[in-house]
Amino acid sequence: MSSGCLFCGIVGGEVPANLVAEGDEWVAFRDIDPRAPSHVLVVPRRHVATLDDLAEEDDALVGALVRAAAEIARDEGLVEGGYRLVFNCGAGAGQSVYHIHLHLLGGRKFSWPPG
C-alpha cells in the first residue's frame, strides 16, 4: 500500500466505495464522477503508480484487469450496446489518481476519437 493513495485506501477498506466486484488481484468500484451511465474502475490490489511502472512480470495482472472489466461489462448488460475500456497514463492524459486503474464505460454511444 502506498501512503496517501486514494485507491490503496479503497482496496484496504479504509475509504468507502461502491464495490461492484473483486478478485484476488483486483477490486472494482463505481466512479464517483461517472462519465457514462455505467462507469466502473478496476484497480489492482497492489499499488502501481502508472502504466510506465509496469514490468514484464505484471503482464498477467494487466490481463486480469481487462478480463475482470469484460466480465463486469457482461454483468452490467453492456455487451450488446458496446463498452469502452480506458487506461490514462500521466496528467496530460487525464490520470488524476496515481494508482493504475482501468475505466469501464458503457450505457451510451461513444464517439471517436475520444477526448
* Residue among 39, 99, 101, 103 flagged as catalytic: 101
Q: Cα–Cα distances in Å, from 45 out to 8, 49, 58, 99, 108? A: 7, 12, 13, 10, 29
Is 101 one of the catalytic residues?
yes
Catalytic residue ranges: 101
